[in-house]
Structure 1
């Protein structure tokens, strides 16, 4: 087979390498072309060198090109994969820093909450630019695979306004299933069958079977509470499991941001999180992790390049959906996964226009969703709160309507539990002004926002959050990795 895949935001070096090697695990795909594009020539150069080394080491005919000209990369592409982070770590730092001044403590801030909503405002204009280019220069009926957060908002904009065949992809379901299989004592995750449905980062394991045997709430709670690690790391998820009756796919830290109950008071935050790793609830945890990962990669790049000389091992193909979807579409080997698409009746008790994440099957005819799923009422209610915020956020981003943006932030569950309307209005003004370089749709609103900020009497505070850690130096990271290696 011969076709072209464009990866937008290919400077996300580690993830691009994973997607690349996964796809080349499919024997029929050895002759395809990968077109890499990014705004950073530096990152593009690094990832192209790594992928070229993989191609050379495995004696493949695969073609790899790299350009900062996005339309050139997309021209003739059958599949477009997006891994973009608009504004990079600079804008992301403001997504965490500014809400903290108003008492809003986020672990990740990339889905909803104040940070996720502003992240969507930065991404959506760029997503629509991608869609325009896809319509104009890509292969007819090209498929857009979005990995970028905020998943639901980006996918919503691409489908509703970009008018491109789009699917959103995430790995939260797979990771949650691996946890469940482990606590239940399965020898392999493949022994666990499940139906998992909801919206991205709020997806729920509504049916579980281990080797065909149904697993109920009480057995699952007991299994998690008995686990020596997860009982400490996933305290909040276990509490939600007890109250809702079903387990959430999302990590302890992520889930804590989407609910109004666990992160609204600093003393409560430390009760529910675990500091053994960023993902369990640390304040700004993903920002710290991303910063350390970037610094580590820049410093240790020669090692990454050397590792690219190893043979591709199909047995180590990851469970990221992209390669499996492409394989099913091109070879008709059916693949079952969980995909982010417009609802249109898939989940009976969520809105038709919402972007849901639910099971589907892929073959030559495309992605075929399993329709008629009904969520437990508590799960649907929790999803609805986020969907309403997502809808307003998408509409605000399209229109450049700062008043609607403020209403979206005001209706966010955690923001509403922590901040007053006056604080929300000022916080959004401050975030829009700070991120103006990445918010072209709000250019006309920035001068008035600056004027309001100059006259505001709303008090803020300089606060690092309830559970903040400093970014570790390269030397500290080396010492930690050496200690782990010695212990293991």
Structure 2
């Protein structure tokens, strides 16, 4: 087979390499072209060198190109994969820093909450530019695979306003299943069958079977509480499991941001999080992790390049959906996964216009969702709260209506549990002003926002958060990796 795949935001080097090697695990894909595009020429040069080394080491005819000209990369592409982070770590730092001044403590801040909503405002105009290019220069009927967060907002905008065949992809379901398999003592996750449904980062394991035997709430609670690691790292998720009756896909720290109950008071945060790793609830944990990862890659690049010389092992193909979807579409080998698409009645008790994450099957004729799923009422209620925020956020990003943006932030569950309306109004003004260079749709609103900020009497605080850690140096990271290697 010979067709073209374009990867936008290919400068996300580690993830791009994973997607690329996954694709080359499909024997029929040896002759494809992979076109890389990014706004950073430096990152493009690094990732192209790595992928060229993979191709050379494995004796493949695969073609790899790289360009900062996005339209050139998209020309004739049958599939387009987006891994972009608009604003990079500079804007992301403001997504965490500014809300902290108003008492809003986020672990990740990339889905909803104050940071996720502003992230969506930066991303959506760019997503629509991608869609315009796809319609104009990509292959007819090209499929857009979005990996970028905020997943639901980006996918909503691409489908509703970009008018492109789009599916959103995430690995939260797979990671949750791996945890459940481990606590239940399964030898492999393949022993576990499940139906997982909801919205991205709030997806719920509503039916679980281990080797055909149905697993109920009490057995799952007992298994998690008995696990020596997860019982400490996932305290919040276990509490939600006890109260809701089903397990959530999302990590302890991430899940805490979507609910109004666990992060609203500083003294409560420490009770529910675990500091053994960033993902379990640390303040700004993902920002620290991303910063350290970038610094490590820049410093240790020669090692990354050298490791690209290893043979591709199909047995180590990852569980990221992209390569499996393309394989199913191109070869008709059926693939079952969990996909982010417009609801249209698939989940009976969520709004029709929402972007859901739910099971589907892929074959040559496309992605076919399993319809008629009904969530437990508490899960549906929690999802609907987020969906309402997502809908307003998408509409605000499209229209550039700063008042609607403020209403979206006000209705966010965690923001509403912490901040007053006056604080929300000022916080949004401050975030829009700070991120103006990435928010063209709000250019008309920036002067008035600056004027309001100059006269505001709303008090803020200089607060690092309830559980903040400093970014580690390369030397600290190197010492930690050496200690772990020695322990093994």
Shift of residue 11, structure 1, vs aligned partner: 0.2
Shift of 1:348: 0.1
Q: CA deviation at 1:100?
A: 0.1
Please give the per-residue CA displacement for 1:370-407, whole angstroms capped at 9, x wherever unaligned: 00000000000000000000000000000000000000
- 1:139-195 per-position Cα deviation (integer Å, ceiling 9, x unaligned): 000000000000000000000000000000000000000000000000000000000
| Deviation readout 1:292-314 (Å, 9 max, x if unpaired) | 00000000000000000000000
Q: How far apart are 1:344 and its partner, in Å?
A: 0.4
Q: How far apart in 2 are the matches of 1:373 and 1:485?
A: 45
> Equivalent residue of 1:437, what SS?
helix
Deviations 1:45-103 (A, max 9, x none): 00000000000000100000000000000000000000000000000000000000000
Confirm whether residue 113 of structure 1 aligns to residue 92 of structure 2: no
* Deviation by residue 1:346-387 (Cα, 9 ceiling, x = unmatched): 000000000000000000000000000000000000000000
Q: CA deviation at 1:282?
A: 0.1
Q: How far does the alpha carbon of each residue in 1:321-363 deviate from its partner, in whole angstroms, 9 at most, with x for none?
A: 0000000000000000000000001000000000000000000
Counterpart CA distance in 2 for 1:168 and 1:272 is 30
> Could you give the per-residue CA deviations for residues 29-49 of structure 1, whole angstroms, max 9, x where no partner exists?
000000000000000000000
Distance 1:123 1:360 in 2: 26
Between the aligned partners of 1:216 and 1:13, the Cα distance in structure 2 is 41
SS of equivalent residue, structure 2 residue 463: coil
In structure 2, distance between residues paired with 1:453 and 1:44: 39
Q: CA deviation at 1:471?
A: 0.0
Deviation string for 1:253-286 (max 9, x for gaps)?
0000000000000010000000000000000000
Paired residue secondary structure (2:481): helix
Quick one: distance in 1 between partners of 2:168 and 2:268? 33
Deviations 1:90-139 (A, max 9, x none): 00000000000000000000000000000000000000000000000000
Q: Indicate the RMSD between aligned Cα atoms, in angstroms.
A: 0.2
- How far apart are the structure 2 equivalents of 1:451 and 1:10? 39
Q: C-alpha distance in 2, partners of 1:156/1:167?
A: 10
Give the secondary structure class of the aligned counterpart of 1:471: coil
Cα separation, 1, equivalents of 2:209 and 2:203 = 17
- Aligned residue pairs total 488
Runs of at least 4 residues of structure 1 off by over 2 A? none
SS in 1 for 2:122: helix
Whole-angstrom CA distance in 1 between matches of 2:172 and 2:301:
28
Query: Which runs of 5 or more structure 1 residues have no equivalent in the other structure?
Result: none
2:75 counterpart of 1:85: no
- Indicate the residue corresponding to 1:252 in structure 2: 252
Tell me, in whole angstroms, the C-alpha distance in 1 between the residues paired with 2:183 and 2:106: 28
> For residues 229 and 202 of structure 2, what CA distance do their matches in structure 1 show?
22
Shift of 1:17: 0.1
Residue number in structure 2 paired with 1:309? 309
Tell me the SS of whatever aligns to 2:274: coil
Structure 1 counterpart SS, 2:48 = helix
Q: Normalising to structure 2: TM-score of the pair?
A: 1.00
Residues 442-470 of structure 1, C-alpha deviations (whole Å, 9 max, x = no match): 00000000000000000000100000000
Distance 1:276 1:166 in 2: 37
Aligned to 2:193: 193
Shift of 1:10: 0.1
Output one character per residue of 1:193-231: Cα deviation in whole Å (capped at 9) or x when no partner: 000000000000000000000000000000000000000
Residue 319 (structure 1) shift? 0.1
Tell me how far 1:315 sits from its aligned partner. 0.3
Structure 2: how far apart are the matches of 1:305 and 1:330? 31
What is the alpha-carbon distance in structure 1 between the residues aligned to residue 169 and residue 253 of structure 2? 20
- CA–CA distance in 1 between the matches of 2:478 and 2:396? 44
Instruction: Tell me how far apart the structure 1 counterparts of residues 101 and 54 of structure 2 sit (CA, whole Å).
Output: 46
* In structure 2, C-alpha distance between the alignment counterparts of 1:264 and 1:419, rounded to whole Å: 9
2:30 aligned with 1:30, yes or no? Answer: yes
SS in 2 for 1:458: coil
Instruction: For 2:2 and 2:462, locate their aligned partners in 1 and report how far apart those are by CA, in whole Å.
Output: 55
Residue aligned with 2:294, SS: helix
Q: What secondary structure does 1:198 align onto?
A: strand
Q: Distance in 2 between matches of 1:309 and 1:369?
A: 39
Residue aligned with 1:34, SS = strand
